[in-house]
Structure 1
């Protein structure tokens, strides 16, 4: 029957146009037949029909299949997902009869995967299918807990072959995600994130940010992670658009008009992303390291455009969340948090209420300027420069510019004597750093601080006790601690004070 219908030019396209809506809408919306029937078998029956048609067209692809490739692929992937769940008795009976007539896989979900492969063979090389198989993509499609990973993998491979495929599928996918169909929403989001880079801001419009915003607040960690990945892609896109005209020549004529439109688009895009800052601030405190890393990247990309101006209350919230990350055990989070701090200093107007938070960032930046990880060290140096500029400390800004870190402790402690106790408490934890250079640096910093402290300051006793307790470290560290302690006592005795 299908061979006869597809072979005739009079019936081929009308048959396909009837078949595709049945395949697409029955699983998602439970469309009824004219007699009111809504059995689950219709979607599977339509899948069998499509598979028969694809088997008949190895050497050619019906125009209806080509034109409807995005919606067909998405619908078949949905078929794989729902047929992985428990099937009704009617579906099992139907499938058993199908298997009696044809040589088909034992389960409907495996058959749906087989149909996906048959569809892809019409338009792609066999190498693409083999690449997905080598990465276990077809097997992951058959499991509910890994289905969305496989869908993302398939999307990446399609974009690698042709960006136009990714663009067409993304356009077809956006309305489905906007409707918020919960059953297949996670795989659909995984697919969208992989094809977002194929679209321009004009093509995806505000709908993508609405979708991402909804999933940023999801209780599902995987959905939040995917939404953040999408947001990072969006935050990168506008920052690269103005460069298409070159960075050294000012555009003239029609190029000037295009540059102006592009700049306006960048501004709108950046402000739209920044409107999600409340949700992103909450995610900066998430236990998921990947989520925090992507959130920091999105903030950095948006502020890096130099378009956003941050209010003092928002800056205060951001500084509160950032400060614990400066000494995080993950070097990537350290680096990104410091880079974001620098962007924040440039995007925020100077305010007295911000200064106490900036003061408390100076010591962590100083120590991490000596970090063994060069990326962390460079990010710390840049953040320290941004803090000095924000505070208008020209001498501190100069020594950072000239890369003279050995002058920092004396410069800081002499300039801000009122906070010496705070700075000491911040430096004490670095005595237990796993990096020996940082432990040496902490001992020297505390020694300099002790010489400028008053007799009654409790932090002075803390310094002496901490140095006294360093006995199980390397000989170099122990010797330096004892020498520093000896110098502190000698200095105190000359001013008629002894710790004993």
Structure 2
């Protein structure tokens, strides 16, 4: 920017709040609106011819822009899309008047938003298309002024959305005519940057204009501006930008109060523009828009628009794009905390149930979080069909390889037991009964949160099934007595319990493998006469004899030897005698009692 370009408009900048009316000089600039385009072109030509702009000429530009903003803006963009020296003088003169700029900005934004070419007819019938990028150039030139045009504050949310959209779309779609235009502008100002970098540069200039320096530094530190430039990562940068805008607008942030005052409405107003885009815009930008929206849903100003947000987000649940589904679910996690949206969230139950089959652990965890939020602190009872569907799916998720998923699924399983309608309790008992052993194993989980949730849910399950003995043993944390009691009370299901326990021998967690070995050792006593199950036990323990953990391999071999020895000895003594005999293995008592006693001692140790 040459100083000579600014000098011509500085006098106007000093009096920008008192721009003259159309008849300030007692005459009109044009006699008819269709004369406006010719007047603008002639004025531009005079300035191109090195005519020095006098005060009268500058006043005419302002008065004309105030009276015919659309015609002035479109004609000037057509006449000088690269914003040459003459055009810069005219645009800066318009910017010197708040009223003129306020009237011209909506037209500039309409052009900027319509990539790559804006179709509009001037009052003289000219229908030549206007480059959207030409409007970006004008915005950049105005943002470089030494003063700050106030209308940019009012239009900053819409302007920011339009610029961010242009960053994205210019990365994907570059028509030849736009490329040619840009090369001319580059040569004119010696700009060695691409179109999308120029758009990012304009975004940063807007934030500087808004005095959001802390935001600029934070995004730069996290490489957010560079991430915006790649179509594949653009939505990540949009999410980062939204988070930083939300963070720096937070009252707890160290930013000065004036900056927070700017960013708080900016966040919510940008989100509202994005809501409108997501309702009507073609889908090519909905991923970045969704990424921004999801990050600011918790803004207080967004509460009023929660219904619209829910409608838009719920439509993305069935998207073919995995990333859109993930973002939609993140949005649902936030919205599901709002009691006023409970009915809308509940209507999505079947869609969410279908998505639980997703192999992505993060997606599954998000769905479980939505369900938990929906049920938390509310008197919402679960219908019998829904409870049965959830119970069946949740039991399969207890053993998910992502520790967050088992934690959430176990907590949700407990909520289902507590909130199922009375008529749904009896059908649910089968699923609850089948959950006892998995919950018992996860009681040994290395993750303390999972172990504690398993203990609480196991207690709830015993209560639900009205099995007092099991409930008392859980309360007293007598786990192996719980296992023995479970097998003793469900002798007919010993083979089923065995098959439930076998997969835990392959658990990556040593405590779970150890618990499985000990449980299978106890179960072996009840399965002595069942050859198929006995063979399964022997094979599983034999395979575990070379476990990476010496403790597990030793325990597996010891258990296998005891079970084989006990199998060879006729079983006649009761198990209670075995417990007594275990205190004196090799002493008094029959050999078979001693063997079973050793096994019991091994299990309890």
**TM-score tier (shorter):** 0.7 to 0.9
Structure 2 match to 1:22: 111
Q: Which runs of structure 2 are paired with 1:302-381 in the superposition (5 Å)?
A: 302-349=374-421, 350-381=424-455
Q: Distance in 2 between matches of 1:110 and 1:205?
A: 34
Structure 2 match to 1:68: 155
Structure 2 match to 1:148: 235
**Secondary structure of 2:246 counterpart:** helix
| Residue deviations 1:363-399 (CA, integer Å, cap 9, x gap) | 1110110112212211211221222222122222232
Structure 1 match to 2:537: 463
Q: In the alignment, is the contact (CA less than 8 A) between 1:105 and 1:111 conserved in 2?
A: no
Q: In the alignment, is the contact (CA less than 8 A) between 1:164 and 1:198 conserved in 2?
A: no
| Residue deviations 1:458-485 (CA, integer Å, cap 9, x gap) | 4244334434554324353244313541
Alignment equivalent of 2:373, drawn from 281, 296, 301: 301
Distance apart, 1:292 and its partner CA: 1.1
**Secondary structure of 1:15 counterpart:** helix
Distance apart, 1:286 and its partner CA: 0.6
Q: Distance in 2 between matches of 1:4 and 1:381?
A: 73
Alignment equivalent of 2:472, drawn from 361, 383, 398: 398
Q: Distance in 1 between matches of 2:529 and 2:385?
A: 38
Stretch of structure 1 that moved more, 441-450 or 133-142: 441-450
Q: In the alignment, is the contact (CA less than 8 A) between 1:368 and 1:380 conserved in 2?
A: yes
Structure 2 match to 1:139: 226
Q: Distance in 2 between matches of 1:143 and 1:357?
A: 49
The one of the two structures with greater contact order (alpha-carbon pairs below 8 A, sep at least 6) is 1
Q: Distance in 1 between matches of 2:137 and 2:430?
A: 68
| Residue deviations 1:409-465 (CA, integer Å, cap 9, x gap) | 122122223322211111122233333333332233223223334734742443344
Query: What count of residue pairs does the alignment treat as equivalent?
Result: 464
Q: Distance in 2 between matches of 1:335 and 1:296?
A: 10
Runs in 1 of length 4+ with deviation above 6 angstroms?
A: none
Structure 1 match to 2:197: 110
Distance apart, 1:359 and its partner CA: 1.5
**Pair 1:215 & 2:278 matched:** no
Structure 2 match to 1:32: 120
Over the residues paired in the alignment, what is the CA RMSD in angstroms?
2.5
Distance apart, 1:14 and its partner CA: 1.9
Structure 1 match to 2:260: none
Distance apart, 1:36 and its partner CA: 7.1
Q: Residues 438 and 84 of structure 1: is their aligned pair in 2 closer, same or farther, counting only changes over 3 Å?
A: closer
Q: In the alignment, is the contact (CA less than 8 A) between 1:158 and 1:166 conserved in 2?
A: yes
Q: Residues 28 and 302 of structure 1: is their aligned pair in 2 closer, same or farther, counting only changes over 3 Å?
A: farther
Q: Distance in 1 between matches of 2:572 and 2:539?
A: 20
Distance apart, 1:492 and its partner CA: 4.3
**Pair 1:282 & 2:369 matched:** no
Structure 2 match to 1:229: 330
Q: In the alignment, is the contact (CA less than 8 A) between 2:94 and 2:100 conserved in 1?
A: yes
Q: Distance in 2 between matches of 1:74 and 1:437?
A: 53
Gaps of 5+ in 1: 239-265
Q: Residues 128 and 465 of structure 1: is their aligned pair in 2 closer, same or farther, counting only changes over 3 Å?
A: closer
**Pair 1:88 & 2:175 matched:** yes
Q: Residues 38 and 208 of structure 1: is their aligned pair in 2 closer, same or farther, counting only changes over 3 Å?
A: farther
| Residue deviations 1:116-172 (CA, integer Å, cap 9, x gap) | 011111113323212212211111111111111111111111111113331222122
Q: Distance in 2 between matches of 1:281 and 1:31?
A: 46
**Secondary structure of 2:131 counterpart:** helix
Q: Residues 28 and 94 of structure 1: is their aligned pair in 2 closer, same or farther, counting only changes over 3 Å?
A: closer
**Pair 1:489 & 2:567 matched:** yes
Q: In the alignment, is the contact (CA less than 8 A) between 2:117 and 2:131 conserved in 1?
A: no
Structure 1 match to 2:489: 415
Structure 2 match to 1:252: none
Q: Distance in 1 between matches of 2:105 and 2:310?
A: 34
Q: Distance in 1 between matches of 2:224 and 2:295?
A: 15
Instruction: Give the greater-gyration-radius structure (CA).
Output: 2
Q: Which runs of structure 2 are paired with 1:164-203 in the superposition (5 Å)?
A: 164-199=265-300, 202-203=303-304
Structure 2 match to 1:477: 555
Distance apart, 1:9 and its partner CA: 4.6
Q: Distance in 2 between matches of 1:397 and 1:30?
A: 72
Gaps of 5+ in 2: 1-89, 250-263, 574-591, 593-605
Q: Compute the TM-score of the two structures, normalised by the length of structure 2.
A: 0.72
**Secondary structure of 1:396 counterpart:** helix
**Secondary structure of 1:439 counterpart:** helix
Q: In the alignment, is the contact (CA less than 8 A) between 2:524 and 2:563 conserved in 1?
A: no
Stretch of structure 1 that moved more, 361-370 or 41-50: 41-50
